[in-house]
Structure 1
Amino acid sequence: MKKVGKANIGFLYALCNSNTFLKQKQHSNAPTSPVLYLSLYLSFYLSLYLSIYLSFYLSLYLSLYLSLYYFTGVIWSRWSLVIIPKNWFLFCCNCFLGASGATQLFRIWMYQQEVKKQQEAEAAELKIKQLAEAHPLLDYLELATLTN
């Protein structure tokens, strides 16, 4: 294995320059380098990780990241059909990458809508409780009609 020249490149640089990838490059007649195949596998497993393990952690930062992830998948899937020869494996991986990003963005949007509905329901219940304390002779249905 070659030495890693810069610490900030780190793991990916060392992995791309390992002996297994160099041997693969020497023995294959593929026009692409092993770095491209490595990026395919990393993007596939990263999108699989995002779809499984990050379903509970939905924040603004993550939605920005996933939107970039979605657009990257869409752009690279288009690019994989423009190059000659067409790389259908790259197209499938990038379509999966874009679909996983779109799915996560849809889940974030649904979660935010659910939180908004819960907050509105809690605010309506609080308003009804405040009216019930102010007017103890009114029943619940009359209070509900007053709040709407």
Structure 2
Amino acid sequence: MSFRPTTRILNFSRNLLRQAPRRRVQTAAEANANVASKQSGFSKFLHSPVGPKTVHFWAPVMKWGIVLAGVADFFRPAESLSLSQNMALTATGIIWTRWCLIIRPKNIFLATVNFFLGCVGLIQSTRILIWQNSVKGAVKEEGEAAKKVIEHPVEAAKDAGLKN
């Protein structure tokens, strides 16, 4: 004799299955979001992917030293600055600013320091180029005056206010 469940038992078991709460599997991102929503602002910062427990935080902090050194060079004369070094700082700042906005997690803090590094390098490079052009202009004027003295020494002496 085979056991055949009655319709009443089948309906009862179906109703139980329908009424049972379904367990939803939570993804890791949802779990992190739930934990983050319960944390304080400082705790969120401390445990964030770019927080002080990671290199994503400390690399920009250390790089601010380079930016501050470049700002301190604003007070040095342009002839004592290196054009190649400041062009390298400009290129580094521009390239890494773009890269910081592409990588995951986006590191806005690192992008900011690289942006300012590029700005400092650009300002210093501009100062150096302006100084080099002014020196070239002064040398050119002196060269023309020297040429005049060599070609016409008497007229040059008269122009300078010297008498025979």
- TM-score, normalised relative to structure 2: 0.57
Equivalent of 2:89, from 57, 64, 69?
Answer: 69
- Which residue pairs with 1:35 in the alignment? 58
Aligned counterpart in structure 2 of residue 55 of structure 1, from 77, 88, 95: 77
Superposed counterparts of 1:125-140, under 5 Å: 125-133=145-153, 135-136=154-155
Determine whether 1:119 maps to 2:139: yes
The AA in structure 2 aligned to 1:54 is R
SS at match of 2:70: helix
Deviation at 1:78, TM superposition (A): 0.9
Cα deviations across residues 120-145 of structure 1 (Å, max 9, x unaligned)?
Answer: 10011112222332x559x75xxxxx
Aligned partners of 1:30, 1:41: CA distance in 2, in Å? 21
| Rounded Cα–Cα distance in structure 2 between residues aligned with 1:136 and 1:71 | 52
- Bigger Rg, structure 1 or 2: 2
Counterpart for residue 11 of structure 1: none
Give runs of ≥4 in structure 1 deviating > 4 Å.
none
For structure 2, the residue ranges without an aligned partner over 5 or more in a row are 1-44, 160-164
Q: How does 1:94-113 map to 2 (within 5 A)?
A: 94-113=114-133
> CA 1:56–1:105 in 2, change beyond 3 Å: closer, same or farther?
closer
Aligned-partner residue type, residue 92 of structure 2: T
- After TM superposition, the score normalised by the length of structure 1 is 0.62
Deviations 1:65-84, CA, capped at 9 Å, x for gaps: 11111111111101110122
Separation in 1, partners of 2:72, 2:103: 29
Cα separation, 1, equivalents of 2:85 and 2:103: 27
Task: Give the length in aligned residue pairs.
Answer: 111
Q: For 2:141 and 2:49, how far apart are their aligned partners in 1?
A: 59
**What SS is found at the alignment partner of 1:28?**
helix
Percent identity at matched positions?
25
